[in-house]
Structure 1
Amino acid sequence: MTANATRLRIILDWGTTSFRALLVAPDGTVQDSIETEMGIHSVKDGDFLGVLQRAIAPWRTAHGLLPVYAAGMIGSRNGWIEMPYVPAPARAEDLAAQVKIVPLPDGGTITFLPGLTDCSAHPFPDVMRGEETQLVGLGLERDITVVLPGTHAKWVRIAGGRIVAFQTLVTGEIFGTLSRHSFLAKVARKPAMPDWDAFLKGVALVRDDKRPAGLLTHLFAVRTGWLSGGLVPEQMTDYLSGLVVASEFQEAKALEWFKDGERIAVVGDDDLVEVYERVAGAFGLSLEPAPEDAAVRGCLIIARIAEERYPTVLAGADRQRRA
């Protein structure tokens, strides 16, 4: 049995506002996890190494030195090390070919995964960091449009075993700003559970409006709905959510990311998946099943390809682990 087949790995999803480390078995099972608010913007004086060492110390005590793989904004210009963007169309092998393996001072290695860029985007090249692992984990063997909800949602086309093209829509950031800092925040009350009726009412307004109207036209309806008695404060946030996410779908349709009746995949591991699936259904789209652990699967796929490509460097870390 090869060392790769028996090796535990540590996978980092290190973003702007949060740090998440996963202890992952060779079959992709997550054996343990650590989550903190030590995103890259919270790390003082660039002490990324110290944050990592303190977080994974219990795992090292139990298992020795383990290879670490880092995806997300930790590889950005504001992170530990700035990783390149691999141009689309790209295969998993193309991503693995651009990893950077960095020795850790107390032994072992950390391998940074690159991001992805679409140079055909208008007006400037589009970029992603971290989502590419979810796409690889979903599988690149089918031809399909994929939606990755988030602060900066991604619409992606997969075809011919490659990530072909993608577009970012800043839906989550717009919703967060409006719900917390706009005129709506002074009145709206967040209910304990989602009000799906209010949400779908917002979706329907966008979907069924035959005028050449966009989000800016629809937003004030959150306030006028309250003033007219059509909405109560507890419905306003979910109504706003329906407006914003449906506007994303409307824009994506206009940009020909999907057509009526098509099948798409929604990939993620949080409550936004259900939000997007409901909007997809309201737009008449069917859904391709997608695993919640797509990011972990993708990191493992890229890790294994990288380990085959750079066996000498990573074998050294494995020898230290067994020593």
Structure 2
Amino acid sequence: MGVVLSLEEGKRGNPTIGRLLDLTAADMARVNELILSKAGSDVDMIPQIAEHLISSGGKRLRPMVTLAAAQMFGYSGEGHVKLATSVEFMHTATLLHDDVVDESGMRRGRQTARMIWGNQASVLVGDFLLGQAFRMMVDVGSLDALDVLSTAASVIAEGEVMQLAAAQNLETTEDEYLAVIRAKTAALFSAAAEVGPIIAGASRSDRAALRSYGTNLGLAFQLVDDALDYGGSSKDLGKNVGDDFREGKVTLPVILSYRRGTAEERDFWKHAIEGRENGDAELEKALDLMARRSAIGDTIGRARHFGEIARDALAPLKPTPQKSALLEVIDFCISRVS
């Protein structure tokens, strides 16, 4: 099962996560070995589907955050590797489930697992990976870490249901949408960051700082993804540009464009999103309306805002190489739309 760290280097002149990669390289090698081991099964379809998604690339950003956060507070045991692997398995399971719910055909330039093995197999293998994640959490023996990650799993599921309720609903408000992505995306970033200081025995204030960092990094990360769907590249996004539009997803650029538009423009959005009239011509018009209503720029502005909150969360902590690396992650995430 290959392991690929894409976006290792930013665009020329843009921030990278090189320092984070260097600091976590040894531990990530152990995480990758554990991924291979725990994704194995005598049921052939399980490792096949897991390998299909895991080997397709991705930054492994969430487990690297866990490792760096543990290192930051001087942790030197083995538990952070299992927790980081648990985080990655939770993320992978979420992707498998997301693709079924969203009826997605492509992810990271490849067919989704559901297109090859079907929806039922994708959901069940996602459940298998979640089970393996919880087994590793129990092995670590930290009730606090188990509480944080299990709570995140529940919140993520709630976010999925919230998104389902908001799907193709143009009356969704910005606050309602932020609540969805706070649950769906930010919750796992938050947990990934917080379990680091937990396992290192850090103080409650240190835990709160990393929790806030992770939450706001996750919000910024998702908002940048939302903007990239209408103005990025498939390489940066990990899926096809315009997929959100074609799937009828109500993301922040759509919400802003709809609410700021004229009656005629809102009628277009109703046909495109609710009526699923969303071919190439409609996508071009959507991009024009978004530019006219500053929807992409303001989405990026919101992402920068949450990025600054994440930066402020770490400000009181003493300087360490890991702190510097985590701050660079904020810049890297925002720079994807530079």
Q: Which has the higher contact order (CA 8 A, sep 6+)?
A: 2
Q: Same fold (TM over 0.5)?
A: no
TM-score w.r.t. length of structure 2: 0.28
TM-score w.r.t. length of structure 1: 0.29
Pick the structure with more helix per residue: 2
